[in-house]
């Protein structure tokens, strides 16, 4: 895969590793990449605009207000021009500003105004990188959809050793080559996905129903993450107040039967993710009129359709990759492993719903991702957008694993 004719907006910020940007520019130019640059005030302390312009052959942008170029709004035009935005070195301070959504100079306004992928290359002292504040910012930015190259483990300019060293120009170049390669392969494969989310309602009478506390936020974040990487995604939403997205095909349902019909209508697809909290039971006979409380002595229930089991076992139209969610209050891993096997899933997301600070109806989650071999990968309490990015990466890796050209 060639990088020829790719357009990269390179933002160079203030850090001792800024000088490596010049070597990276040379590498990219040798491969016919067109580069425009933004040099921050801090970056200018380490390298000069003249050295950058000499290598790129293009003007170096520095200020958000340019009296010599009043006809264009640089932070908009630059972000629209580029295929990607690459930022290096990313310091702890720069990460904080981005995680807070700051837009106080040309670099941050261009990033915030961008509709393209943003790739960050961190460089900082090991203690700064491992600090809880930096790690929280890292998770926040990944949740926003930002991608990271590195950091590496090694000896740093300060003389200390550990994680925080900036990736080398060659490593960054290889990442970019693979990034565009993966994107092209995904585009050619035309992968499709369906995701269920929200909480179903099983009516007792016209005004009462059985339901649960699921907000649908986790499934929604996964759908957005898949859509952003080029997967055609349909989201079946049950009784959720989530804002609709232009990036997704959204189908609204109420009951488990309606969700099941919507799922069948979308088949065949490559990926199915059952994140919805579907009622296990429904009322056997729904009353036509409102039941008076004195008349309600008991409810006769029957089992609902098992949508995940249907998708996992349906050999003819079975998606290539079936992912289920396992909401549990106890014996999380044991119960989830049983569900993985019994529902014939490729992956199960074990979801602890026993606490109020993560799980149902909040923005945070704590999950364990379990594959068919029983391998468990636990993710500590994190924003649901961050967890969605981890899951989406696993899905992409699944569909690219057999492509020899990816490396």
Task: Extract the tokens encoding 62.
Answer: 């520095």
310 CB-near residues (< 8 Å, 6+ apart) = 260, 263
Note whether 236 and 253 are within 8 A (CB). yes
Task: Extract the tokens encoding 237.
Answer: 């939403």
Q: Looking at beta carbons, which pairs linking 154-158 to residues 24 or more positions away fall under 8 Å?
A: 156/125, 156/126, 157/16, 157/17, 158/125
Residue 311 CB coordination number (10 Å): 27
Is 190-406 CATH 3.40.50.10300? yes
| Parallel/antiparallel/unpaired status of strands 281-283 and 117-122 | unpaired
Q: How far apart are CA 98 and CA 146, in angstroms?
A: 10
274 classed as catalytic: no
- Provide the pLDDT for residue 72: 60
* 190-406 matches 7-186 in CATH topology: yes
Residue 292 CB coordination number (10 Å): 8
Q: How far apart are CA 223 and CA 217, in angstroms?
A: 10
- Provide the pLDDT for residue 240: 86
Domain ranges in the chain are 7-186, 190-406
Note whether 313 and 346 are within 8 A (CB). no
Rg (CA), the chain: 25
Task: Tell the residue number behind the tokens 């016209």, with chain if given.
Answer: 206
- Provide the pLDDT for residue 406: 43
Residue 135 CB coordination number (10 Å): 13
Task: Extract the tokens encoding 39.
Answer: 């040099």
Three-state secondary structure call for residue 87:
strand
- Provide the pLDDT for residue 402: 52
Name the stretches of the chain with pLDDT < 70: 1, 65-73, 401-407
Count helices and strands (H / E) in the chain. 13, 20
Instruction: Characterize 340-350 residue by residue with b for buried, 16 or more Cβ atoms within 10 angstroms of its Cβ, and e for exposed.
Output: beebbbbbbbb
Note whether 22 and 47 are within 8 A (CB). yes
pLDDT tens-place string over residues 322-350: 999 998 889 999 999 999 999 999 999 99
Which one from 158, 286, 296, 406 is the annotated catalytic residue?
158
Task: Extract the tokens encoding 9.
Answer: 């907006």
- Provide the pLDDT for residue 259: 97
Class of domain 7-186: alpha beta
- Provide the pLDDT for residue 66: 63
Q: How far apart are CA 44 and CA 10, in angstroms?
A: 14
- Provide the pLDDT for residue 375: 93
Beta bridge partners of 301: 283
How many residues appear in the chain?
Answer: 407
Q: At what angle do helices 217-228 and 384-400 cross, to 10 degrees?
A: 50
Residue 86 is given by DSSP the state E
Q: How far apart are CA 211 and CA 283, in angstroms?
A: 12
Task: Tell the residue number behind the tokens 């990219």, with chain if given.
Answer: 28
């Amino acid at each position: 895969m060639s990088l020829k004719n790719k357009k990269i907006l390179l933002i160079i910020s203030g850090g001792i590793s800024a000088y490596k940007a010049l070597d990276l520019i040379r590498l990219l130019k040798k491969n016919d990449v067109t580069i425009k640059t933004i040099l921050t005030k801090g970056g200018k302390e380490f390298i000069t605009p003249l050295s950058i312009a000499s290598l790129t052959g293009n003007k170096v942008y520095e200020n958000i207000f340019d009296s010599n170029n009043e006809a264009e709004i640089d932070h908009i035009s630059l972000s629209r021009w580029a295929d990607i935005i690459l930022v290096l070195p990313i310091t702890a301070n720069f990460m904080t500003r981005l995680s807070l959504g700051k837009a106080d100079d040309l670099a941050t306004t261009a990033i915030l105004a961008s509709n393209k992928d943003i790739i960050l290359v961190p460089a900082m002292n090991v203690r700064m990188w491992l600090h809880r504040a930096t790690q929280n910012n890292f998770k926040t930015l990944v949740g926003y959809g930002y991608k990271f190259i590195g950091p590496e483990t090694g000896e740093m300019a300060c003389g200390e050793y550990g994680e925080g060293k900036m990736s080398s120009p060659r490593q960054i170049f290889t990442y970019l080559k693979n990034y565009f390669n993966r994107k092209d392969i995904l585009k050619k494969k035309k992968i499709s996905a369906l995701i269920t989310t929200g909480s179903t309602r099983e009516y007792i009478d016209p005004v009462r129903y059985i339901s649960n506390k699921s907000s649908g936020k986790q499934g929604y974040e996964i759908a957005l993450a898949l859509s952003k990487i080029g997967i055609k995604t349909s989201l079946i939403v049950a009784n959720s107040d989530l804002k609709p997205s232009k990036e997704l095909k959204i189908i609204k349902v109420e009951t488990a039967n309606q969700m099941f019909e919507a799922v069948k209508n979308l088949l065949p697809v490559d990926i199915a993710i059952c994140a919805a909290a579907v009622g296990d039971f429904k009322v056997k006979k729904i009353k036509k009129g409102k039941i008076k409380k004195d008349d309600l002595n008991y409810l006769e229930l029957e089992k609902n359709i098992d949508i995940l089991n249907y998708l996992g076992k349906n050999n003819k139209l079975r998606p290539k990759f079936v992912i289920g969610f396992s909401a549990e209050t106890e014996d999380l891993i044991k119960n989830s492993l049983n569900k993985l096997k019994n529902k014939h899933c490729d992956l199960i997301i074990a979801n602890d719903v026993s606490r109020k600070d993560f799980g149902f109806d909040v923005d945070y989650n704590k999950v364990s991702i379990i594959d068919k071999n029983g391998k468990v990968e636990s993710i500590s309490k994190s924003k649901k957008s961050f967890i969605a990015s981890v899951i989406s990466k696993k899905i992409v890796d699944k569909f690219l694993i057999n492509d020899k050209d990816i490396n």
